[in-house]
């Protein structure tokens, strides 16, 4: 087993960390540009495993995507007729759940596969919905094949999106190119991560697509409709990834230090922005400067927290790690859907924190975390980038934590190790 020795500090960190672009926005922007009525330029494109898999897949289907010679984060996207291809999804939910609808618009077979861990991720919801809309698909999980005919009828469809908001976004992004558009009705428990659907809708509207929504913010009631029509080419500038920022800002809270993130957007659809209010509840102070620098200053001791993370489940590993360092008992609720992410994140977090001497209990929809002294040990990541960053956060204040497969952070943040070590080196 190859491990990385997570750097630990015995003084507060004091750093400014410049984060690359948002994965969620990048992959949505790439799909919309690929389906648009003309060429687009995407600036600030995140270049990571997940986004490179999206680029490779779209190129394989016929789209021309050309990075700038001197800056690979600037890419020019020129749509073209889509054709059959092989798509490697890796572990990227946005690739395996967003691209089947694009594949249905191709002429020819589009074969999907991915990492071994990806073959257990739930996909039947979006694939069955596409079948109901007229697509021919072999299989209900990876590997599967979309037998594209160059068009998709579309229309009305009912589905249960309680396992992932990506099922809804994956249909909405391509629906303007369906002959009859789409009308989606959610029927089931509340949809998690509703802000990600709101992000999709905002980006569709920016591209001139007519979208209506009667969904409530809780995700308990949801219906969405997209009218057929062109998708306007839009030159997009990608915001910094606020979910990736969470672990760095949490480092300030964990060490009683200070971490700033430049270019923090004044308004955003990214759910990761909620880390700010969570850190404030745990005792941190937050300052926003006029030039867009957001700075978190940590407290002497972290407060425990009782929080519903249903809409921001991606923040759970960071919050759970902080809760393990806090005084008292924390309850993290509304996140049963995390059992279907890159790994079962609830079991993974409880197992790994307890391995280091923590006190974590799984509940039906979350975790109960009792702050306790932690000790050195190996932290397994389960090929999950958020597990890797959570373990690194604990390692910052617990000497001797070894992170197995830290390279999994390349999924969304290829330079994580160097950035983390630089931040740790700021502690005086």
pLDDT confidence of residue 341: 66
Whether 296 has a pLDDT exceeding 90, the answer reads yes
**C-alpha span between 194 and 199 (Å, rounded):** 9
Q: Which residues have a Cβ under 8 Å from the Cβ of 116 and sit 6 or more positions away? A: none
**C-alpha span between 307 and 222 (Å, rounded):** 23
Mean pLDDT over 260-266 rounds to 96
The helix or strand, by DSSP H or E, that contains position 23, with its residue range, turns out to be helix 23-34
Catalogue all structural domains in the chain, each as residue range(s) with its CATH number.
Answer: 3-21+241-424 (3.65.10.10), 23-237 (3.65.10.10)
The string over 361-370, giving b where at least 16 C-beta atoms fall within 10 Å of a residue's C-beta and e elsewhere, is ebeebbbbbb
Does 292 carry a binding-site annotation?
no
Backbone phi, psi, residue 215, to 5°: -75, 145
Q: Is 155 left (phi over 0), alpha (psi -120 to 50) or beta?
A: left
pLDDT digits (tens, 9 = 90+) for 78-95: 999 999 999 999 999 999
Does 333 carry a binding-site annotation?
no
State yes or no: cis peptide before 228, omega within 30 of 0.
Answer: no
Q: Which residues have a Cβ under 8 Å from the Cβ of 283 and sit 6 or more positions away? A: 253, 298, 299, 301, 302, 303
pLDDT confidence of residue 428: 66
Mean pLDDT over 35-59 rounds to 97
Is beta strand 377-379 parallel, antiparallel or unpaired with respect to 401-404? parallel
Mean pLDDT over 11-15 rounds to 97
Answer yes or no: are the C-beta atoms of 20 and 42 closer than 8 Å. no
Q: Which of 157-171, 199-213, 277-291, 331-345 has the lowest mean pLDDT?
A: 331-345
pLDDT digits (tens, 9 = 90+) for 116-151: 988 988 899 999 999 999 999 999 999 999 999 999
Among residues 309, 323, 392, which one has the least CA distance to residue 361?
A: 323
**C-alpha span between 226 and 1 (Å, rounded):** 49
**Candidates 239, 311, 314, 404; catalytic one:** 314
**C-alpha span between 296 and 421 (Å, rounded):** 19
pLDDT confidence of residue 220: 66
Does 314 carry a binding-site annotation?
yes
Mean pLDDT over 164-187 rounds to 96
**C-alpha span between 18 and 7 (Å, rounded):** 19
Among residues 225, 156, 167, 223, which one has the least CA distance to residue 192?
A: 167
Q: Which residues have a Cβ under 8 Å from the Cβ of 240 and sit 6 or more positions away? A: 18, 19, 20, 21, 22, 261, 262, 263, 264, 265
Choose between 274 and 214: higher pLDDT: 274
Q: Is 211 helix (H, G, I), strand (E, B) or coil?
A: strand
What is residue 312's DSSP assignment? G
Q: Is 171 left (phi over 0), alpha (psi -120 to 50) or beta?
A: alpha
**C-alpha span between 332 and 406 (Å, rounded):** 25
**C-alpha span between 126 and 41 (Å, rounded):** 29
pLDDT confidence of residue 339: 87
Does 289 carry a binding-site annotation?
no
Does 272 carry a binding-site annotation?
no
Answer yes or no: are the C-beta atoms of 366 and 346 closer than 8 Å. yes
314 catalytic per annotation: yes
Answer yes or no: are the C-beta atoms of 43 and 235 closer than 8 Å. yes
pLDDT digits (tens, 9 = 90+) for 158-170: 999 998 999 999 9
The helix or strand, by DSSP H or E, that contains position 324, with its residue range, turns out to be helix 316-325
Mean pLDDT over 169-185 rounds to 98
Whether 247 has a pLDDT exceeding 70, the answer reads yes
Answer yes or no: are the C-beta atoms of 348 and 387 closer than 8 Å. yes
**C-alpha span between 188 and 211 (Å, rounded):** 22
pLDDT digits (tens, 9 = 90+) for 319-346: 999 999 999 999 999 999 888 766 799 9
Mean pLDDT over 316-320 rounds to 98
Does 90 carry a binding-site annotation?
no
């Amino acid at each position: 087993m190859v491990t990385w020795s997570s750097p630990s500090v015995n003084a507060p960190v004091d750093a400014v960390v410049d984060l690359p672009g948002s994965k969620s926005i990048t992959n949505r922007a790439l799909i919309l540009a690929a389906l648009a009525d003309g060429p687009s330029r995407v600036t600030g494109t995140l270049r990571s495993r997940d986004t490179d898999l999206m680029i490779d897949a779209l190129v394989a289907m016929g789209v021309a995507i050309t990075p700038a010679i001197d800056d690979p984060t600037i890419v020019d996207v020129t749509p073209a007729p889509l054709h059959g291809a092989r798509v490697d999804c890796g572990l990227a939910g946005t690739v395996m759940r967003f691209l089947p609808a694009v594949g249905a618009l191709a002429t020819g077979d589009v074969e999907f596969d991915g990492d071994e861990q990806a073959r257990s991720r739930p996909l039947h919801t979006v694939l069955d919905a596409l079948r109901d809309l007229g697509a021919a698909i072999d299989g209900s999980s990876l590997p599967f094949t979309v037998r594209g005919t160059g068009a998709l009828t579309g229309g009305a469809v009912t589905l249960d999106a309680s396992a992932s908001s990506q099922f809804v976004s994956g249909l909405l992004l391509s629906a303007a190119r369906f002959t009859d558009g789409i009308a989606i009705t959610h029927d089931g428990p509340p949809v998690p991560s509703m802000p990600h659907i709101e992000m999709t809708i905002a980006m569709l509207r920016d591209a001139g697509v007519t979208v209506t929504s009667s969904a409530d913010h809780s995700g308990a009631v949801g219906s969405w409709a997209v009218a057929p029509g062109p998708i306007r080419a839009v030159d997009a500038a990608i915001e910094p990834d606020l979910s990736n920022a969470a672990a760095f800002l949490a480092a300030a809270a964990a060490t009683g230090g200070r971490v700033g993130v430049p270019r923090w957007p004044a308004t955003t659809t990214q759910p990761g922005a909620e880390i700010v209010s969570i850190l404030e509840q745990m005792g941190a102070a937050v300052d926003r400067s006029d030039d867009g620098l957001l700075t978190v200053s940590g407290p002497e001791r972290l407060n425990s927290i009782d929080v519903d993370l249903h809409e921001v489940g991606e923040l759970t590993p960071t919050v759970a790690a902080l809760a393990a360092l806090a005084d008292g008992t924390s309850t993290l609720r509304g996140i049963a859907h995390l059992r279907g992410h890159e790994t079962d994140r609830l079991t993974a977090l409880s197992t790994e924190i307890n391995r280091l001497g923590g006190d974590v209990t799984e509940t039906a929809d979350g975790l109960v975390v009792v702050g306790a002294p932690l000790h050195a040990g190996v932290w397994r990541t389960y090929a999950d980038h958020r597990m890797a960053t959570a373990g690194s956060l604990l390692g910052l204040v617990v000497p001797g934590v070894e992170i197995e497969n830290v390279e999994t952070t390349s999924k969304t943040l290829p330079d994580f190790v160097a950035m983390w070590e630089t931040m740790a080196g700021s502690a005086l």
